[in-house]
Amino acid sequence: MNLSFRQRLAKPVSVYINWAAYDELSDNIKLNEAIAFEQFDQMLRLKDQGVHFDYYLMDCFWFSKDGGYREWRAPDWSPEGPGKFLKRCQEHDIKPGIWVSTNFRVAGEEYWFLDVIPEWEDSLATHGRSFCLFQGGYLNHFMESLQLLVDQGFKMIKFDFADFDAATPEVEKTHTREEIRESNIRALLSAFKIFRYNNPDVLFIAYNGYGGEYTNTSIPFTKNIDLRWLEVFDALYCGDPRFSDIPFANFWRSKDHYTDHMVKQYEFNGVPLKAIDNCAFIFGNTGTCYYRGKAGWKASLLLSLARGGWMNTYYGDLKLYDNQDAEWFAKAQKLFYEFQEYGRITTFGGIPGEGTLYGYLAESLNGKIITLVNPGQSVLEFNLEDVIGENNEEAKILFADKGYEPKVNLSVLSIGPEQMVVIGLEEYSDQKYYLGEGDYNVIVEKQELKSFIIDGNSFNTEISVPASHDVQIFIQQFDKKTGLPFRSTGGGAPHGTKLDQILQLEVAQLNKNVPFKYHHDKAIWSGLSWMTAKVKNSDITQDAPLQINFESKEPEGIKLEIEIYLT
């Protein structure tokens, strides 16, 4: 029964997951049958344009709180529960998937997923938030519920929120924390192996609780993932997309950077790239995706594909993509799916969180594709031969963020600040693979005007701005004790505090406020350790000093690092 990832998943799969089309944790948009079917129709529309989908997964909150995963939430679903959904999936050759919480009954500290039903009572942990997996009736009932779902027709299960420290009061009296954790893991592994043996066509994907360090991109890598989970899961996700701890003028590139760092962390832990669900393609107008809409979606899609995972998950509101978008989407998918299935994908370069150049190399018998990211603030040169060896083939830029035109000269590529570039070689240097440019605007010409550190949570400074220059401001806060970036958060939407009320910037000239462009004017559930802002020269009066004032509303114990550029 010890099945491997390679044997179970024979080829890459494409999964639409409807979270972020609604959001009941970082927003107040509830899942119901209408939303689920609206997204199903949109998925079919994109599919007709060539976008590949194998699965549609119903995410969190489909269930009744008191039904033990055996009842659908009323009145949000018709009395027949998933019947209409399962029928539609069958009619259109889409495999249905379903979300469950492994053994948590609460999200965070306040939102309760589930009531305790009689069959679970003797497994309830001391703190009341989760269930022990090796004592009481919870695990057996849970596995029976999963079997009922599979018998209805569900072919994929997303397991979220695992708590392997859960113990009943009786267990806590006789077991150490290490014994409790190992007993919970072994109980679940054993149950999953039996279930997978009896249902070999059902895919399992693992989310929160199955290892990894998701919170930031600053902590050095450690071995924190139990590889036994690869015996039962087809993919392990590497964290809900959030912002990294390196300031970016291109705000959304920071989310790409976060996921690149997490993929590298999982690879460091020994997880094959094909077994990593990078979970990065999530777009919509809800709190989970920070009301992003579809900003920067093309670059994000290409990176999601380039990372090499066989569990290609697509989250959010599919209404955002018109038919022209869908044609581009399908072209990008087709290009990289061939590498995922028949070629080889590897990582190269530095650790993303350290701010060094990094990327992905896709190789096949017909040629190669290099996806390269520069997280720094200056133009860099990269020798392609450092990755592919001696090169006599023409290299073609297939895609790049706009604002800087990357060039290849004798295998040396110039790449702009914060820029992502996709390069095709051999067969893939053909014009038919060209993907155009993204909507990130790379700021190339930077002249550092000021750089300083403040031991405290506020500063004010004054600068003079020459004619025809904009001003770009980077501010990052650090914990003085640990030296690590310090994330501020006011909680998620709709009731959370917007980050611009915590990281407060003011720009003034001649005793009048000067407008500036920034992106942290939203509730960010995952926190942010930095902010960037741009002051346009057209809003500045020449020959008068510009005052920049900043205050972090965080308590003492913060230091600030500031960089100010003319662009």
Query: pLDDT (tens digit, 9 = 90+) per residue, 67-102?
Result: 999 999 999 999 999 999 999 999 999 999 999 999
With a cut of 70, say whether residue 7 has pLDDT above it. Answer: no
With a cut of 60, say whether residue 1 has pLDDT above it. Answer: no
Q: Are 566 and 469 in contact (CB under 8 A)?
A: yes
At residue 2, the pLDDT reads 38
What is the CB neighbour count within 10 angstroms for residue 433? 19
pLDDT tens readout for residues 308-361: 999 999 999 999 999 999 999 999 999 999 999 999 999 999 999 999 999 999
Q: How far apart are CA 41 and CA 259, in angstroms?
A: 29
Retrieve residue 379's tokens. Answer: 């133009």
Retrieve residue 189's tokens. Answer: 């592994």
At residue 543, the pLDDT reads 83
Q: What is the mean pLDDT of the segment spanning 58-70? A: 96
At residue 110, the pLDDT reads 62
With a cut of 90, say whether residue 555 has pLDDT above it. Answer: no
Beta bridge partners of 565: 448, 472
At residue 5, the pLDDT reads 47
With a cut of 90, say whether residue 271 has pLDDT above it. Answer: yes
Q: How far apart are CA 283 and CA 191, in angstroms?
A: 35
At residue 41, the pLDDT reads 98
Residue 18, H or E segment:
none
Task: Return the amino acid letter for 198.
Answer: N
With a cut of 70, say whether residue 145 has pLDDT above it. Answer: yes
Q: Which CATH class is domain 447-566?
A: mainly beta
Of 30, 33, 115, residue with least CA distance to 68: 115
Query: What share of the chain has pLDDT > 70, as a percent?
Result: 98
With a cut of 80, say whether residue 215 has pLDDT above it. Answer: yes
Q: How far apart are CA 121 and CA 140, in angstroms?
A: 13
Task: Return the amino acid letter for 313.
Answer: T
Beta bridge partners of 204: 157
Q: Are 113 and 107 in contact (CB under 8 A)?
A: yes
Q: What is the mean pLDDT of the segment spanning 38-57? A: 98
Q: What is the mean pLDDT of the segment spanning 135-140? A: 98
Retrieve residue 253's tokens. Answer: 């590139």
Q: What is the mean pLDDT of the segment spanning 531-540? A: 95
With a cut of 80, say whether residue 484 has pLDDT above it. Answer: yes
Q: How far apart are CA 459 and CA 125, in angstroms?
A: 47
At residue 109, the pLDDT reads 58
Out of 1.10.10.10, 3.30.2320.80, 3.20.20.70, 3.40.50.300, the CATH code matching 5-342 is 3.20.20.70
At residue 107, the pLDDT reads 67
Beta bridge partners of 166: none
Of 357, 351, 348, 404, residue with least CA distance to 382: 357
What is the CB neighbour count within 10 angstroms for residue 449? 19
Tell me the pLDDT band of 108, cut-offs 50, 70 and 90: low
Q: Tokens 């014009």 correspond to what residue?
A: 431
pLDDT tens readout for residues 431-469: 999 999 999 888 888 888 899 999 999 999 999 998 889
User: What pTM, to 2 d.p., does this model score?
Assistant: 0.95
When the pLDDT of each residue in the chain is averaged and rounded to a whole number, the result is 94
Domain residue ranges of the chain, discontinuous segments joined by +: 5-342, 349-441, 447-566
Retrieve residue 112's tokens. Answer: 């309760």
Q: Are 420 and 349 in contact (CB under 8 A)?
A: no
Cβ within 8 Å of residue 313, ≥6 positions away: 15, 17, 205, 237, 277, 279, 281
- Distance linking the first and last C-alpha atoms of the chain: 60
> Per residue, what are the HEC states of 295-306?
CCHHHHHHHHHH
* C-alpha to C-alpha distances, 210 to 227, 235, 266, 279, nearest whole angstrom: 10, 11, 12, 15
At residue 3, the pLDDT reads 42
Beta bridge partners of 530: 476
DSSP-assigned letter for residue 496: S
Retrieve residue 525's tokens. Answer: 């559930």
Same-fold call for 349-441 versus 447-566: no
Q: How far apart are CA 520 and CA 532, in angstroms?
A: 8
Q: How far apart are CA 181 and CA 171, in angstroms?
A: 11
Q: Are 499 and 554 in contact (CB under 8 A)?
A: no
Architecture per CATH, domain 349-441, reads as Sandwich (2.60)
At residue 6, the pLDDT reads 47
Tell me the pLDDT band of 493, cut-offs 50, 70 and 90: confident
Helix 297-306 to helix 323-342 angle (10° resolution) is 10
With a cut of 90, say whether residue 527 has pLDDT above it. Answer: yes
Helix, strand, coil percent content, the chain, rounded in steps of 5 = 30, 30, 45
